[in-house]
Amino acid sequence: MISRQPIQVLALVACIALLAPAPAESSTDGYQLLQQAYEDFRSGNTDASRVAARKALTTGLSNDDSNLIGGALTALCRLALRDNDASAISELTTEMDKVALRAGEPRWHVYATHMRAELARMNGRLDEADALYVESLNLATRIGLVGMVAAENFNRSFISVARGDLDSARDQVVEHFRVSALSNDGSPGAYGLIALANLLAARDQFEQAAVVVFATRRIFDEQGIVPDPADATPLQNTEALISKRLSKEALANAQELARDMSVPGLIDKYL
């Protein structure tokens, strides 16, 4: 389980920062730490990510930098999700909401709401999760937080599939890829392939789902991506389903087809 240290020492570090003659590190150092924390998280290096995020939080407090504080709390919340630590997530998201209110920066409320939704989805509370995703999506749309608009469409697609609403799921996957391309030089990111594979499997299109799964794993390996906690399970479930439903020959054929397929190619062919 993630340590509660970042929240327990929040007030103490803030008091120390007020008394110190000068911050030990600049906000620039803190943002570099945040980037490192994110890269380590994505590559599955949890311990290193936690160390960098905690240092970024301390630096943000020392410099009274609300954006750095919010970013560090968000990074720590991602790690708490990886541990499925509901108590830590509650504490961290409460602090994120306080930062949003104090700084007049609603994106931290978006991220806090998103994290609560992720926890609910991971634990099977789908109605709660969907309501929180919708809240996050609506606010992200209003303030132009494009990455979160893409993310919440992606996330809601899993709930639509679980409810058997495959038309809505397809619309959400399409919208995810459309919006993700806006912030990625016109090219949709690979992460949404998890949702595409999940949708194809729900349609009983197991051979197509297998191609997408094999391509997803290859591309993730190439890019050093480890799925977020709430998304690892549906990917693993799709893998297990296609292994159960397809013959060895069909799986081998799908793996061969997936060898050279790109993200746009997979979308064009299977979505």
pLDDT at 76 over 70: yes
Q: What is the pLDDT of residue 4?
A: 39
CA dist., res. 192 & res. 84, Å (int) = 22
Q: Are 241 and 200 in contact (CB under 8 A)?
A: no
Range 148-151 contact pairs with CB under 8 angstroms and sequence separation of 24 or more:
148/107, 148/110, 148/111, 148/114, 149/179, 150/175, 150/176, 150/179, 150/180, 150/182, 150/183, 150/192, 151/114, 151/176
Percent of all residues in the chain with a pLDDT value above 90, rounded to a whole number: 84
pLDDT one-digit tens code per residue, 118-134: 999 999 999 999 999 99
Region 257-265: mean pLDDT is: 96
Question: What digits encode the pLDDT tens for the residues 160-198?
Answer: 999 999 999 999 999 999 999 998 888 899 999 999 999
State mean pLDDT over 210-218: 98
Give 234's pLDDT tier (boundaries 50, 70, 90). Answer: very high
pLDDT at 24: 56
pLDDT at 17 over 90: no
Please choose, from the candidates 115, 201, 119, 127, the residue with its C-alpha nearest in 3D space to the C-alpha of residue 161. 201
Compare 230 and 19 and report the one with higher pLDDT.
230
Domains and CATH numbers, the chain: 1-97 (no CATH), 106-176 (1.25.40), 190-271 (no CATH)
Whole-number average pLDDT of the chain? 91
pLDDT at residue number 16: 36
Please report the pLDDT score of residue 6 as a whole number.
44
Written in H, E and C, the secondary structure of the chain is CCCCHHHHCHHHHHHHHHHCCCCCCCHHHHHHHHHHHHHHHHCCCHHHHHHHHHHHHHHHHHCCCHHHHHHHHHHHHHHHHHCCCHHHHHHHHHHHHHHHHHHCCCHHHHHHHHHHHHHHHHCCCHHHHHHHHHHHHHHHHHHCCHHHHHHHHHHHHHHHHHHCCHHHHHHHHHHHHHHHHHCCCCCCCCCCHHHHHHHHHHCCCHHHHHHHHHHHHHHHHHHCCCCCHHHHHHHHHHHHHHHHHCCHHHHHHHHHHHCCCCHHHHHHHHC
pLDDT at 10 over 60: no
pLDDT at 5: 42
Q: Is the pLDDT of residue 205 over 50?
A: yes
Tokens describing residue 87: 């108590």
**pLDDT-based confidence at 137, cuts 50/70/90?**
very high
Whole-angstrom Cα distance, residue 263 to residue 193?
Answer: 8
Each residue's pLDDT tens digit, 22-63: 445 788 999 999 999 999 998 889 999 999 999 999 999 999
What is the model's pLDDT at position 3? 36
